[in-house]
Every structure is written in structure tokens, then in C-alpha cells.
Amino acid sequence: MKKELSTNEFIKIILAICDNVEKEKDYLSELDRATGDGDHGVTMSIGWSAVKEKVSTLEDNFTFDKICMQIASSFLSAVGASAGPLYATALMRGGAKLKVLTVINSLQLSECFDAAANGIQDRGKANLGDKTMLDVWLPTAKKIKDISLSTDDITESLKEGSLTANEKMLSTKDMLSKKGRSSKLGERRRGNIDTGDASSALILKTFHDDTKNLYIY
């Protein structure tokens, strides 16, 4: 059982996310070619590569909110497309819930995810069912929060969150797009997993997997 997460551990998780996005960038771009520009994997790679460079320079005494702000700034500077403002807002909103903290518990982490998901919705003006990354983020954040109310095990809430993220990602295959340029494709958009949800599910799975591999309890 893991009851707490430190900033040093959080940075390790972020670095793992950076590496996994890089590994899967071709897959993400291939998904995107079905209905988009085919550049989502490259875009995410650019953003998270900038994050990796920034994170490697952070001081050990940085609090969660300062780390999230630095990551948000790096991602936004590197990615001017819609993903940039969405992830930057998510990180800033999430980090704001963890001001001055260097160690957090399961409930505090769930509040961070909840604020991040709501930040994505506020910035993107989308709703559930619009076939956007929100279709993964909102239900996953809710699941993590629900589980954190019944257990203080961080790995358990993240595991359930990761399973929810994967389930919701797969469900986007049968949806029609209602936002952005892809909404003009109509029925042609059905039958393809939303690329933003695919990358979101990857990030959330990595967050769980790397937390599970930490050995400080």
C-alpha cells in the first residue's frame, strides 16, 4: 500500500510519461492519420520532450504547484496547437490544488486530477460524448476521486483510474466528433479511436504503472 507521493517521485513519474510518449509517438500519429493531420504523436513528443528538458533542471525543494507550473509553461511554449493550452491549463489547475506541498496523499492527488479535468473542460469548451480528450479525463478523474474516498492507497485509486481511462478511450471508437475540424467528417469519424483520448490514456496508465513501481511506502 502506498499512502503518500513525494515531489521527487512525481518527477520520476513525469519523466516516465515523457519516455512513453516518445516511444508511442508513431502509433499516436498513425491513429491521427485516419481522420486528422497525422501529427498528434509528433506534437505530443515535442511537448513532452520540452517537459523532460525542464524537469531535469528543477531543484529538489520545489513544491508540487511550482513543478506543475514549470511543466505547464514548458509544454505550452513547445506546443502552440490546441493540446498546448489544454495540458497547460490542466497542469496549472491541478498544481494549484497542491500549493506549498512536497508530499501528498491519495485524496489530495484525486483533487489534483479533478481540477485538471475541469480545467481541460473549461479551456476546450467540450462536453462528455463530444469525442475529445475530455471523454477520458472527466470519468477517470471521477473514478480516482471516488476510490480515494474509500481507500488511502494511491496505487489502488490510480489503477482504477487507468482501467477507466482505457475503457473510455475504446468507447470513443463509436462516437461522432462534435468539436473542432474533425466534426466536419461526420460518419467518417466513427470507427476510429480519438487520438487525444489515446494519448491521455497512455499518460494515465504510465502514471499508475510508475507509481506502482515506487518502493517508498
Q: Is residue 144 part of a domain?
A: yes
pLDDT band at 190 (very low <50, low <70, confident <90, very high): low
User: Considering the entire predicted model, what is its pTM?
Assistant: 0.92
Number of domains in the chain: 1
pLDDT tens for each residue of 47-104? 999 999 999 899 778 999 999 999 999 999 999 878 999 999 999 999 999 999 999 9
* Helix residue ranges, H only, 57-153: 64-78, 83-96, 106-124, 134-148
Q: Residue 167 pLDDT more than 50?
A: yes
217 lies in a domain? no
98-145 per-position pLDDT tens digit: 999 999 999 999 999 999 999 999 999 999 999 999 999 999 999 999
Nearest to 51 by CA among 17, 23, 7: 17
How far is the C-alpha of 43 from the C-alpha of 38, rounded, in Å?
A: 10
CA 174 to chain centre: 22
Structural domain harbouring 72: 4-212
Tell me what pLDDT residue 216 has: 45
Give burial (CB, 10 Å; 0-12/13-18/19+) of 179: middle
In-domain check, residue 69: yes
What's the CATH code of the domain at 106? 1.25.40.340
